[in-house]
Amino acid sequence: MRASIKRAGAAALATVGIAAGSLAGTAPAQAVPGVHNLQMIGGINCYWKGWGPTWDNLPGWRMHRWMGVKNTGSQRMHGVTVTELFGAAKSPNFRGQPARSLKPGQTFIAFDTTWEGCWPSSISGYAIATETEDLLDNWGFWANVRQERGDQSEVTPGE
């Protein structure tokens, strides 16, 4: 019985020691501001597209949705993944640098679509990487909620 109590005490001390060492080891990494940081960017805008350049590209309203991530820190970020909520996940793959990495100041636009017409829509998602960083700006939500007023005076009944 004494042996089992001693073993349980030793296991508890080892657990406390490992936990304290883990907290002491991660505190310096979390205390350095600005070294590693990803910031989500994105938006939705509607615009009127004119004629051309080909006949199959008729004029009309277009909706442009885009979302990506920017490395605003001072170090390279590794294992970067941008995920659209309830959608796909994409990672940067730039020529001449390791896959899934972003250099300081580099931007990766993961989702960029243009739709015919303009209607209420949104785009949202988040970004992750392998480095410890501030997570408050790793997610984003954008919507086109501005109402555009149309000119109905040109429409006559029966046409």
The CATH number linked to 69 is 2.60.40
- CA dist., res. 159 & res. 152, Å (int): 13
Separation of CA 73 from chain center = 15
Give the pLDDT confidence score for residue 24 in this predicted structure: 47
Give the pLDDT confidence score for residue 102 in this predicted structure: 95
Residues 44 and 10 in one domain: no
Which residue ranges of the chain lie beneath pLDDT 70? 1-34, 55-56, 146-159
Residues 86 and 22 in one domain: no
Measure CA of the first residue to CA of the last residue in the chain; give whole Å: 96
Across 58-106, the runs of DSSP E, i.e. the strands, are 60-71, 81-84, 89-90
Q: Which domain holds residue 138?
A: 34-146
**108 in Cβ contact with 100 (< 8 Å):** no
Q: Is residue 157 part of a domain?
A: no
Residues 55 and 123 in one domain: yes
Give the pLDDT confidence score for residue 58 in this predicted structure: 79
Q: Is residue 25 part of a domain?
A: yes
Residues 83 and 111 in one domain: yes
Q: Is residue 76 part of a domain?
A: yes
Number of domains in the chain: 2
Residues 92 and 49 in one domain: yes
Is the pTM value of this prediction over 0.85?
Answer: no
